[in-house]
């Protein structure tokens, strides 16, 4: 069981990296990687939210949706759960860790719109993972996303000083960059067949 | 013909709809809940409604509890104070942005109301009103550039063709200027200023606009050579040089550098200037802004930011001929016999104000000429860098 969970963990972090192999979560990816500060903040928040929301969704899926044959409502119910959880996290953070809350600002609420946060519970549901495997998937995806964010932020900060052609400045060159990194990540494919 | 077309259209829509409905609820088709195609699967529909409503209620209640339990009391004063602040988030107050200062000043009784540099006195008064604290008079500060060695007056060690930014230029052997303490002129400070108060002169030196400068300190932090410092706006005489090189070396590198000759030290009537590490520095606590050192400096390293000074004039009605003024005048501009009316020679007078402060009868006043401003903030006129 552990071995399978470990496989899932590595697969979701590197081989099937959500940004570079599955092309999900791109709007937040590009929005947050302008500065290293925001990228790091976002990656912490994202991993934490991912873990808890994946667990919550698994519980609801297994104990409510499967017995009553409501599998077709996956997307609706998962989004509802995620939105409710993020709102609760927002309120709690504002009281308990206000410094972190103000630092993250709008990014916490933006996590709800991130496709990755919906993709992970959906994949868990389709592949019928156990709770432990779902959480391994969640942590793996969080780490993979963090890796992607930090890589991109460090390159984009250097890009500010580089001599980029006018029409490529800003988003276009970042897209080209992401494509190149995705090509590099292709090297991981086939390592583990899942 | 139109009837036929409408019929076909309706039939195809009906067909598509039924295909869609059948494929949407595959489990229902498998379950055959109420039997037959196209019949409504009440089982699933009920469960859906119950589950969705149930989840909605559970989440709603949970969120309400969380909101009530983790409530953060928002002080209405904070919002009011925040509205009075300029919103530039420059950090001059020492807090994290305008919101940070608003919270501190509204919540903490020890935080002063006049910390907002861009806001100046107007904002301090408004904050004092809202929070009920007292607004104290604060002396406005301004950024001063401690270098006059523009391109035409100083030497460069090598030709620099890298990134046109001072922080980048500094990486190349400390910058391309011969004098290692001087301004490199690549406008990093200009870009750092959130109030657009800095422009670059034709000679590649930063010029600070006294009207716009709020002394927030961002340019001070941005300059890699630490050429810019914050100083009181009222202390308008500044020795614009940081060069710690020996006098002979400074002279080779820059025509307007301080060579630590000591003439200003001897000239100063209040002993406000000291030489330390081959550079002269004015102690602004003692300086009376008379401007004598400006005239005596051999390399013209001292800059007077008051463009045109008001000159002394003696009111004949009040003058009793006590001769105190003539004795203190450093340029001997006052003439007159003892016990008879004294007169100030307007051409010789340099506007230092020593006679005005010493006259026991208060008979002397500084009168501005037609072209000068007599406003105490005369320094807020645009200054031109002496070439």
- A64 at B interface, C-beta within 8 A: yes
Q: What is the pLDDT of residue B58?
A: 94
For β-strands B273-276 and B279-282, DSSP reports them as antiparallel
Q: Is B189 helix (H, G, I), strand (E, B) or coil?
A: helix
Q: What is the pLDDT of residue B369?
A: 67
Q: What is the pLDDT of residue B378?
A: 41
Under an 8 A CB cutoff, do B25 and A72 touch? yes
Question: Which pair of tokens denotes residue B1?
Answer: 């013909």
- A71 at B interface, C-beta within 8 A: yes
Q: What is the pLDDT of residue B31?
A: 46
Q: What is the pLDDT of residue B228?
A: 93
What is the spatial distance between Cα B197 and Cα B141, in angstroms, rounded to a whole number? 14
- On whether the CB atoms of residues A48 and A91 are closer than 8 A, the answer is no
Asked, colleague to colleague, whether B78-131 and B141-304 share their fold, the answer is no
Under an 8 A CB cutoff, do A80 and B67 touch? no
Residue numbers of chain A with a pLDDT score lower than 50:
none
Mutate to test the interface with B, among A52, A66, A74, A87 (most CBs of B within 10 A): A87
Altogether, the residues listed in chain B come to a count of 387
Q: What is the pLDDT of residue B341?
A: 85
Q: Which of B52, B70, B168 sits opposite A95 (nearest CB)?
A: B70
Q: Which residue has the higher pLDDT, B6 or B283?
A: B283
What is the spatial distance between Cα B235 and Cα A71, in angstroms, rounded to a whole number? 77
Chain A residue at shortest CA distance from B47 = A68
Residue B383's pLDDT band (cuts 50, 70, 90): very low
Q: What is the pLDDT of residue A153?
A: 94
Question: Which pair of tokens denotes residue A157?
Answer: 């900060």
H-only helix segments in chain B: 2-24, 26-31, 42-69, 76-84, 97-107, 120-131, 166-169, 188-192, 218-222, 247-253, 263-267, 292-296, 324-328, 354-358
Question: Which pair of tokens denotes residue B332?
Answer: 């001997």
- A60 at B interface, C-beta within 8 A: yes
Q: Is the pLDDT of residue B59 over 80?
A: yes
Compute and round to an integer the Cα radius of gyration of chain B.
37
Q: What is the pLDDT of residue B11?
A: 79
Q: What is the pLDDT of residue A132?
A: 93
Under an 8 A CB cutoff, do A92 and B72 touch? no
Residue B385's pLDDT band (cuts 50, 70, 90): very low
* Domain ranges (residues) in chain B: 78-131, 141-304, 311-367
Distance from CA of A151 to the nearest CA of B (A): 23
What is the spatial distance between Cα A151 and Cα A13, in angstroms, rounded to a whole number? 14
Under an 8 A CB cutoff, do B55 and A64 touch? yes
Q: What is the pLDDT of residue B77?
A: 84
Residue B144's DSSP bridge partners are: B229
Q: Is the pLDDT of residue B8 over 60?
A: yes
What is the spatial distance between Cα B150 and Cα B127, in angstroms, rounded to a whole number? 42
- On whether the CB atoms of residues B230 and B238 are closer than 8 A, the answer is no
B335-382 residue pLDDT tens = 888 888 888 888 888 787 788 888 888 888 888 765 444 444 444 333
Residue B308's pLDDT band (cuts 50, 70, 90): confident
Question: Which pair of tokens denotes residue B276?
Answer: 């330390």
CATH class (in words) of the domain with range B311-367: alpha beta
Distance from CA of B176 to the nearest CA of A (A): 20
Write down the architecture of domain B78-131 according to CATH.
Orthogonal Bundle (1.10)
Under an 8 A CB cutoff, do B59 and A80 touch? yes
- On whether the CB atoms of residues B341 and B287 are closer than 8 A, the answer is no
Question: Which pair of tokens denotes residue A65?
Answer: 């949706």
Q: Which of B47, B72, B163 sits opposite A70 (nearest CB)?
A: B47
- A75 at B interface, C-beta within 8 A: no
User: Which letter does DSSP use for residue B177 in this model?
Assistant: B
Q: What is the CATH number of domain B141-304?
A: 3.30.70.20
> Nearest to residue B350, comparing CAs of B295, B269, B284, B271?
B295
Q: Is the pLDDT of residue B61 over 60?
A: yes
Q: Is the pLDDT of residue B37 over 70?
A: no
Q: Which of A64, A88, A161 sits opposite B66 (nearest CB)?
A: A88
Distance from CA of B346 to the nearest CA of A (A): 56
Q: Is the pLDDT of residue B44 over 90?
A: no
Compute and round to an integer the Cα radius of gyration of chain A.
18
Chain B residue at shortest CA distance from A89 = B66
Distance from CA of B269 to the nearest CA of A (A): 51
B311-333 residue pLDDT tens = 888 888 888 888 888 888 877 88
Q: Is the pLDDT of residue B32 over 60?
A: no
């Amino acid at each position: 069981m552990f071995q399978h969970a470990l496989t899932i963990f590595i697969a979701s972090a590197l081989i099937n990296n959500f940004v570079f192999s599955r092309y999900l979560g791109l709007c937040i990816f590009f929005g947050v990687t302008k500065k290293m500060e925001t990228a790091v903040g976002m990656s912490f928040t994202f991993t934490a939210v991912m873990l808890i929301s994946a667990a919550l969704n698994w519980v609801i899926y297994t104990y409510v949706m499967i017995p009553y044959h409501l599998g077709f409502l996956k997307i609706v119910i998962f989004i509802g759960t995620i939105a409710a959880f993020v709102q609760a996290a927002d309120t709690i953070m504002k009281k308990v860790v206000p410094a972190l809350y103000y630092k993250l600002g709008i990014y916490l609420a933006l996590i709800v719109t991130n496709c990755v946060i919906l993709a992970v519970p959906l994949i868990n549901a389709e592949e019928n993972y156990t709770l432990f495997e779902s959480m391994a998937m969640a942590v793996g995806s969080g780490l993979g996303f963090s890796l992607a964010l930090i890589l991109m932020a460090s390159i984009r900060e250097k890009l500010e000083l580089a001599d980029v052609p006018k029409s490529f400045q800003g988003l276009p060159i970042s897209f080209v960059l992401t494509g190149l990194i995705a090509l590099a990540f292709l090297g991981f494919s086939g390592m583990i067949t899942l | 013909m139109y009837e036929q077309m409408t019929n076909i259209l309706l039939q195809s829509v009906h067909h598509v709809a039924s295909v869609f409905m059948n494929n949407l609820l595959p489990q229902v088709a498998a379950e055959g809940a109420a039997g037959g195609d196209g019949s409504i699967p009440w089982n699933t529909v009920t469960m859906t409604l119950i589950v969705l409503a149930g989840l909605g209620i559970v989440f709603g209640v949970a969120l309400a509890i969380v909101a009530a339990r983790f409530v953060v009391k928002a002080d209405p004063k904070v919002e009011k104070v925040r509205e009075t602040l300029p919103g530039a988030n420059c950090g001059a107050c020492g807090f994290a942005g305008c919101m940070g200062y608003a919270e501190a000043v509204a919540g903490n009784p020890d935080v002063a109301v006049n910390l907002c540099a861009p806001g100046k006195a107007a904002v301090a008064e408004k904050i004092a009103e809202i929070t009920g604290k007292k607004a104290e008079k604060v002396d406005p500060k301004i950024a001063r550039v401690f270098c006059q060695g523009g391109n035409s007056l100083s030497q460069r060690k090598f030709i620099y063709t890298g990134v046109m930014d001072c922080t980048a230029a500094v990486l190349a052997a400390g910058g391309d200027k011969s004098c290692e303490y001087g301004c490199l002129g690549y406008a990093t400070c200009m870009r750092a200023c959130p109030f657009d108060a800095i422009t670059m002169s034709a000679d590649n030196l930063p010029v600070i606009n006294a009207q716009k400068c709020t002394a927030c300190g961002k340019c001070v932090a941005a300059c890699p050579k630490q050429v810019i410092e914050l100083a009181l706006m009222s202390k308008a005489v500044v020795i614009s040089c940081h060069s710690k090189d020996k006098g002979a070396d400074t002279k080779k590198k820059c025509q307007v550098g301080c060579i630590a000759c000591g003439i200003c030290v001897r000239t100063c009537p209040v002993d406000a200037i000291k030489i330390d590490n081959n550079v002269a520095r004015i102690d602004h606590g003692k300086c009376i802004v008379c401007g004598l050192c400006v005239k005596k400096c051999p390399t013209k390293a001292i800059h007077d930011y008051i463009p045109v000074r008001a000159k002394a004039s003696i009111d004949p009605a009040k003058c009793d001929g006590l001769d105190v003024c003539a004795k203190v005048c450093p340029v001997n501009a006052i003439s007159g016999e003892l016990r008879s009316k004294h007169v100030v020679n307007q051409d010789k007078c340099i506007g230092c104000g020593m006679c005005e402060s010493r006259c026991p009868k208060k008979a002397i006043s500084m009168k501005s000429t037609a072209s000068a401003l007599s406003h105490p903030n005369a320094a807020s006129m645009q200054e031109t860098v002496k070439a």
